[in-house]
Structure 1
Amino acid sequence: MNQQHNEISVGGDVGGNVVAGNGNTVGAAPAPRAEQRPAVDGMAPRLGFVVDVVGFGHRDAESQAELQHRLDELVRRVLADLGIDPEDTIGSDSGDSRLAFLPAGVDWSRVLPTMISAMGERLGRDNRRYRDRMRLRMSIGTGLVGTGPLGFTGQLVVDLHRLVDSEVLRQSIRDHPDTDLVVLVSQALHDDVIRPGHLDPADFTPVTVTAKEFAAPAWLRLC
């Protein structure tokens, strides 16, 4: 497990506000909070996500450093669109990917639509500014998360990495060369947010993810 960080680092410039599909500006307002759920044995329910750069290893060292800089800034800007201070999140990085958990108590039904919209909008803006096109795989889920001496604890940590590294997601972005962002949402988060209509269920395709000892349904969206 990579070294834990208390904040997402800052770099690059993907500036400006994101305008959601309904014409409202997404930005500085704090994210609404759901009723706080109790922590269990030092663990708390959180929404987490992983973003991973496609083809990172095929770049030279200078290009990789620039992509890391851009990805850090992208994640920071998306958190700002959610009204969340990066210092209130916990996360880690592994060079070509970023893992982040939002503060316990945020309203998932409000955060998820904005997160997906903002990530797609800001990634598009970023790519219009650089020759090196950045394409991302993303996984999003919810569950109990804790911290230990070697990093994060809880099944969600494993599940998010299984989803983002899955062949389903890798094949999806290979099959859609004009798409810069592909997202897998966990079944639990789909049941809590998408199925009730906070996002259009028709935008998501059911898939089955299998990897090593992991097998789970998930929901795919091309952005």
Structure 2
Amino acid sequence: MQDPHRRVLVAADMESYSGRNNVLQYRAQIAFRQIMGDAAAQAGLDRIDWLIQQGGDGELAILPSGTSERTVVARLAPTVDRLLREHNQGLTATARIRLRLAVHQGLVHLDGANGFPSDAVVHVCRLIDSPQLKKALRAFPDANVALAVSDSLYHEVVEHYRDLRPEQFGEVRAEIPDKGFSATAWIYVPGENVRGAPPEPDMPTPTPTPTAGQTFSGITTHGPAQFGNHNEMRNSDG
């Protein structure tokens, strides 16, 4: 086993991929690869040297040694968002492509027999699959990208260099209970203020607290229509 290498990791995943028919999946895969390649080039990143583990609806990428974490965090998501905005013009909702991105860094073994053994790889893959990131993308239907960065990258890169406005990141606890995963992450949606966003429309509405007094249901009154001492009530069964 070779020594591990510290690398920047990028995971990408397409929203609602499995709901597309075969033709739309085929087209989406072509568009995904083209957009990721163009975005990397325009952000100043050399995708040719990325080690990529592909999936039909996304990918895991191990970036080359010496890659600027600042460049990846600050430029990749906004560039992908702009390219997707151009691509999605005039498309139906089922044909549109919207992506979740996650960025982390850590030690990675590059000589694994069936992938890349690494806690950092597991971490970025859990971030991309977290319900919290999926909800963030759903909360902004006009957005094209939702980005999650790990807690360490947020504090070391976003807060210090402010290429993206830190106050527009929302702190979440990314959790996948059945995988035993729970970690702080920071979510950013280009052009939106995640931290100031209202609750999701599909979030349950809190049950109102009953006011003091008596509550009656399933009853029929006979006589004066008022409740109080000496009034007679009978239920609807008689």
Alignment TM-score, normalising by the size of structure 2: 0.73
Mean alpha-carbon deviation: is it higher for 75-84 or for 135-144? 75-84
Deviation at 1:130? 4.1
For residue 77 of structure 1, the aligned residue among 20, 23, 38 is: 38
Structure 2 equivalent of residue 170 of structure 1: 134
Deviation at 1:129? 6.2
Structure 2 equivalent of residue 207 of structure 1: 172
Alignment: residue pair count: 184
Alignment of 1:35-74 (within 5 A): 41-74=2-35
Structure 2 equivalent of residue 144 of structure 1: 107
Deviation at 1:190? 0.7
Structure 1 segments, 4+ long, off by >6 Å, are none
Deviation at 1:191? 1.6
For residue 106 of structure 1, the aligned residue among 49, 67, 72 is: 67
Letter in 2 for 1:144: L
> Conserved in 1, the CA contact under 8 Å of 2:77 and 2:145?
no
Distance 1:221 1:84, change over 3 A: closer
> Conserved in 1, the CA contact under 8 Å of 2:17 and 2:25?
yes
CA distance in 2, matches of 1:116, 1:146: 26
Mean alpha-carbon deviation: is it higher for 103-112 or for 93-102? 103-112
Structure 2 equivalent of residue 35 of structure 1: none
Percent of aligned pairs with the same amino acid: 28
Structure 2 equivalent of residue 133 of structure 1: 96
CA distance in 2, matches of 1:192, 1:110: 13
CA distance in 1, matches of 2:140, 2:76: 21
1 or 2 for the larger relative contact order (CA 8 Å, sep ≥6)? 1
Deviation by residue 1:117-169 (Cα, 9 ceiling, x = unmatched): 21111111111264421111111111112221101121121111111111111
For residue 145 of structure 2, the aligned residue among 164, 167, 181 is: 181
Deviation by residue 1:94-116 (Cα, 9 ceiling, x = unmatched): 10111112111122123321112
Structure 2 residue 161 is matched with structure 1 residue 194 = no
Letter in 2 for 1:50: A
Unaligned runs of 5+ in 2: 191-238
CA distance in 2, matches of 1:55, 1:220: 19
CA distance in 1, matches of 2:52, 2:3: 17
Letter in 2 for 1:98: E
Unaligned runs of 5+ in 1: 1-39
SS in 1 for 2:88: helix
Deviation at 1:41? 4.9
Deviation at 1:194? 0.5
SS in 2 for 1:47: strand
**RMSD value, Cα:** 1.7
